[in-house]
Amino acid sequence: MVSGAARAISGAARAISEAAENGVTAGVAAISDNNMNSSGFGTIIEIGDVLVSEDVVCEFFACDYAACGGACCVEGESGAPLEESELDGLEEGYGAFSGLMTDAGRERVSEVGFFEVDRDGDLVTPCVARGSEAGASGEASASGACAFCHFCDDTPASEGISVVDRQKTPKMRVPPSKNGGIPSKSAENTSPLSALCAIEMAGREKPVSCALYPIRITKMPGGGLALNLHRWDICRAAFEKGRREGVRAYEFLRGPLERRFGTEFYEALSAAAQHILSEES
């Protein structure tokens, strides 16, 4: 349950001061590092024990699968973050979605299990090693595609994806729907990559960090969570699409936000967003 309404804390000094009083370091409350334009402190929204950066509610964003082809499932230094509570579900549902994975993905799961540990000591999805055979140590590989990926038959045979794997799967050129849903079959994919989540294709919930992206959850040293907006060049088209369509990141990701934090949290966040955006206009 969310106690009270969202509280907008304007200005860097007040944001840092209040964060410090709660045992939170200033760096955690700041906007995440990114590959595009960088921001400093702005408005921090506090909802219960969750601090939300203003970029989450102010920035425009709408996934553009037709442009990226699911690159976030393939690129990166390690797998997608996992919550400990999600591990049992991955194991229990494996029989439902494993047939949609590549041979390389299934081999990786058989070697290390349903998660790996990245260099920061966090649980992440296992990945197929890029350009080499994956080891069986349980430590994150030199990251390639997420082991839980499904690849359409026009995806190049790379990152451990075999031609045989591609021939086994149907040709799907699809963009994702809003709220983190399964892509719909309505538009032409212009990207050479066609990666989808095998878990989601089987009708199960994919890891919440995947559904929430580009919102990232960070655990704060003093307790509580921080939500920041991550910026990555492979998602540039999504930021541009969101601006064209007038869709903010928190609006596009309403479903995943409610799944993780509840309806009351989203309602509080939406109220705070309307207040902040009205002041800016």
Asked whether the predicted pLDDT for residue 189 surpasses 60, the reply is no
Integer Cα distance of 152 and 194 in angstroms: 5
pTM of model > 0.75 = no
In whole angstroms, what is the distance from residue 167 CA to residue 219 CA?
42
Phi, psi of 196 (to 5 degrees): -130, 170
**pLDDT score recorded for residue 137:** 42
Please state the separation of Cα 238 from the chain's center in Å. 13
Angle between helix 263-280 and 254-261 (nearest 10)? 130
- Distance, in Å, from the CA atom of 256 to the CA atom of 136, rounded to the nearest integer, reads 32
Cβ atoms of residues 192 and 151 within 8 Å: no
Greatest Cα pair distance, the chain, in angstroms, is: 57
Distance between CA atoms of 15 and 42, rounded to whole angstroms? Answer: 8
Tens digit of each residue's pLDDT (9 = 90 or more) over 34-53: 333 334 557 899 999 999 99
Helix (H, G, I), strand (E, B) or coil at 7: strand
Amino acid at 227: L
Q: Greater confidence, 116 or 139? A: 116
pLDDT at 192: 61
262 pLDDT higher than 70: yes
Q: How confident is the model at residue 237 (pLDDT cuts 50, 70, 90)?
A: very high
Instruction: For residue 44, count CB atoms less than 10 angstroms from its CB and return exposed for 0-12, middle for 13-18, buried for 19 or more.
Output: buried
Q: What angle do CA 230, 231, 235 make, to 5 degrees?
A: 120
Answer yes or no: is pLDDT of 254 > 50: yes
Asked which of 7-21, 99-113, 116-130, 224-238 is least confident by mean pLDDT, the reply is 7-21
Whether 58 shows a pLDDT value over 90: the answer reads yes
What amino acid occupies position 142?
A
pLDDT tens string 67-106 = 988 999 988 888 999 999 999 999 999 999 999 999 999 9
